[in-house]
């Protein structure tokens, strides 16, 4: 009986003509890879500082709470960041895992169709994410509309957003083929690093010209620096120890308020999470290997605890971000809010009309929204009368339900995406066994047979995939609950630490391959 081909093969004529970065023929030197990687990163920062032309200054950034993980900059060419890329990857992985897409990713032809279809889907999501924003939140400037008309003004803004997203997509492909590591990971690490640096050392005040208001007394000390280190020195130089104790100064310093976005407790939590993630990332199981023909040639194949890398938590965080964004559209957008049954439906998500807040205050979106430090859950549970407003006046039992839902969703979703990622990126036992066998290596004491290798790897890879996915999901969720410096989010901090370590290891591996060209075959570079 002939095997039925996937319907995605209908896209093959489009995929064959789709713009793509050419794959290098043969080995690419380390200096060349470093040059392309550095150049792409500099281009990313340059585009992140180019403001969108024709956009009103009074804009609402619906991605504000997810900037660290979406690697974008509000109101710039990089406004969408990696959002469309990650969303397209989520959809393709879900369809593949649910067997809706009939593709065998072990076959080169099917894998090419899968990757090509994902590119087409990414472009589709570029417009899916940009059009609703321009017609609801990124309003054109009044003078621009008066000059060219509302329709053309919005079209120009949409094209700018699309151009920036396409450039990010091509830069990610360029780094993957000609550079070091992943472009998505590199841009995320760059954005998180910037947020951490500013949250720690920024000496500029949060609100220029405003007065710091300790204990309800106006004008006691000017608005303090937003960075935690200069803020501590500044406040202690301006206020006496007695006033700090009696007027709530220590509470401001450690817990925070509108003038203290980076309190001391958040700074300490960030350091603790950083160290724990480093420990988790460095934990691994190493399988001994020996060359079948070259005596004395030995090595180890590392199976790290975080086997699926940081990709599952990126996908999970992006999924939650999309849920919150679309719930906001259904509540506030002029068109989507008029859709029967789901438009302005309280059970989907309710938002404050007075403050134009991007955070839901009730409904399903509130239960799925991310935490931002202890003030979002611990303080309202500890003292509901004093801190209940921090959790939109929800009862303690509702906050506990939200914690359970959030942890379950984040950990369970990360496990699911970890399994999908391992299967779709040739990291499963069968693929790794073939890779080791092709390199001429084998496990000492076992005959050289990919089926034997597959059986041995099958004892480890499925287990560490699930365990690693649970760990990264749990770490990201707990980091959000404790809070992070610079509002980098727990997911952003977790991703950045993992990316730093992987980048260091990638550079070390590239240098080793330059010294020993025979290793290229083992690492799959040739």
Contact 54, 141 (CB under 8 A): yes
pLDDT tens digits for range 142-174 = 888 888 888 899 999 999 999 998 898 889 888
Averaged pLDDT for residues 411-438: 82
The model's confidence at residue 371, banded by pLDDT at 50, 70 and 90, is confident
CB burial string 256-291: b at 16+ within 10 A, e below: beebbbbbbbbbebbeebbebbeebbeeeeebebbb
Q: Is 415 or 97 the better-scoring residue by pLDDT?
A: 415
Averaged pLDDT for residues 438-456: 73
Q: Indicate if the pLDDT at residue 1 is higher than 80.
A: no
Q: Indicate if the pLDDT at residue 218 is higher than 60.
A: no
Q: Which of 100-104, 118-122, 199-203, 307-311 has the lowest mean pLDDT?
A: 100-104
- Find where tokens 């940009």 sit: 130
Classify residue 50 by burial, with Cβ atoms within 10 Å: 0-12, 13-18, 19+. Answer: middle
The secondary element (H helix, E strand) that includes residue 221 is strand 221-222
Q: What is the DSSP string of 313-336?
A: HHHHHHHHHHHHHHHHHHHH-TTG
Instruction: In the chain, list all ranges with CATH 1.10.3370.10.
Output: 28-202+266-523
| Nearest partner of 303 among 509, 524, 456, 511, judged by Cα | 456
Contact 74, 133 (CB under 8 A): no
Predicted local distance difference test score (pLDDT) of residue 407: 92
Domain 28-202+266-523 belongs to what topology?
Answer: Preprotein translocase SecY subunit (1.10.3370)
**Residue 379 has which token pair?**
């303080």
The Cα angle at residue 164 between residues 163 and 166, in degrees rounded to 5 = 65
Averaged pLDDT for residues 329-357: 80
pLDDT tens digits for range 98-143 = 677 777 766 777 778 888 888 888 888 888 888 878 876 788 888 8
Partners of residue 211 on adjacent β-strands: 222
Q: What are residue 347's phi and psi, to 5 degrees? A: -75, -20
Quick one: CA dihedral 474, 374, 487, 280, positive or negative? Answer: negative
Q: What are residue 247's phi and psi, to 5 degrees? A: -110, 15
Cβ count near 150 (within 10 Å): 13
| Torsion region of 454: left, alpha or beta (phi above 0 gives left; psi -120 to 50 gives alpha) | alpha
Rounded Cα distance, 229 and 134, in Å: 38
Length in residues, the chain: 526
Rounded Cα distance, 356 and 409, in Å: 27
Rounded Cα distance, 457 and 426, in Å: 13
Contact 209, 202 (CB under 8 A): no
Rounded Cα distance, 188 and 349, in Å: 28
Averaged pLDDT for residues 296-324: 77
Q: Indicate if the pLDDT at residue 260 is higher than 70.
A: yes
pLDDT tens digits for range 453-498 = 788 888 888 888 999 899 888 888 888 888 888 888 887 888 788 8
CA distances from residue 80 to 323, 401, 468, 505 in whole angstroms, order as listed: 16, 32, 29, 29
Predicted local distance difference test score (pLDDT) of residue 493: 85
Rounded Cα distance, 381 and 255, in Å: 15
**Residue 342 has which token pair?**
């789901």
Predicted local distance difference test score (pLDDT) of residue 401: 94
Contact 377, 403 (CB under 8 A): yes
């Amino acid at each position: 009986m002939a095997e039925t081909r996937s319907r995605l093969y209908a896209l093959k004529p489009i995929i064959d003509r789709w713009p793509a970065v050419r794959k290098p023929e043969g080995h690419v030197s380390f200096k060349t890879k470093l040059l392309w990687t550095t150049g792409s990163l500099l281009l990313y920062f340059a585009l992140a500082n180019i403001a969108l032309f024709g956009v009103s200054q009074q804009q609402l950034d619906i991605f504000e709470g997810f900037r660290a993980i979406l690697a974008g900059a509000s109101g710039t060419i990089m406004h969408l960041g990696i959002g469309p890329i990650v969303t397209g990857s989520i959809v393709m992985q879900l369809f593949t895992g649910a067997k809706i897409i009939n593709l065998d990713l072990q076959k080169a032809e099917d894998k090419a169709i899968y990757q090509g279809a994902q590119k087409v889907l990414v472009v589709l999501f570029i417009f899916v994410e940009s059009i609703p924003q321009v017609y609801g939140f990124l309003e054109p400037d009044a003078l621009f509309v008066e000059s060219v008309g509302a329709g053309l003004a919005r079209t120009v803004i949409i094209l700018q957003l699309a151009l920036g997203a396409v450039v990010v997509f091509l830069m990610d492909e360029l780094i993957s083929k000609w550079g070091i590591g992943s472009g998505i990971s590199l841009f995320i690490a760059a954005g998180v690093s910037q947020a951490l640096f500013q949250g720690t050392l920024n000496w500029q005040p949060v609100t220029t010209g405003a007065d710091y208001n300790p204990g309800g007394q106006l004008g006691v000390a000017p608005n303090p620096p937003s960075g935690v280190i200069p803020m501590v020195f500044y406040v202690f130089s301006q206020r006496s120890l007695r006033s700090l104790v009696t007027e709530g100064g220590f509470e401001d310093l450690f817990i925070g308020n509108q003038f203290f976005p980076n309190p001391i407790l958040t700074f300490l939590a960030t350091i603790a999470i950083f160290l724990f993630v480093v420990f988790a990332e460095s934990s691994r199981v190493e399988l001994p290997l020996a060359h079948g023909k070259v005596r004395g040639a030995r090595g180890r194949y590392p199976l790290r605890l975080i086997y699926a890398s940081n990709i599952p938590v990126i996908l999970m965080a992006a999924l939650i971000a999309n849920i919150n964004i679309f719930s906001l559209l259904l509540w506030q957008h002029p068109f989507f809010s008029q859709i029967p049954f789901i438009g302005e439906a309280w059970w989907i998500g309710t938002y404050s009309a007075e403050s134009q807040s991007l955070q839901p205050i009730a409904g399903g979106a509130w239960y799925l929204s991310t935490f931002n430090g202890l003030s979002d859950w611990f303080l309202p549970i500890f003292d509901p009368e004093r801190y209940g407003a921090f959790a939109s006046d929800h009862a303690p039992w509702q906050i506990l339900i939200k914690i359970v839902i959030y942890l379950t969703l984040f950990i369970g979703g990360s496990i699911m995406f970890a399994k999908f990622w391992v299967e779709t990126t040739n990291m499963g036992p069968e693929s790794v066994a073939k890779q080791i066998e092709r390199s001429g290596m084998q496990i000492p004491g076992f005959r050289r047979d990919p089926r034997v290798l597959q059986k041995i790897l099958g004892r480890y890879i499925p287990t560490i995939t699930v365990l690693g996915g649970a760990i990264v999901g749990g770490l990201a969720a707990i980091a959000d609950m404790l809070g992070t410096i610079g509002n980098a989010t727990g997911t952003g901090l977790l991703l950045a630490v993992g990316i730093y370590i992987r980048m260091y290891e990638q550079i070390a591996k590239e240098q080793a391959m330059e010294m020993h060209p025979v290793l290229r075959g083992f690492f799959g570079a040739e």
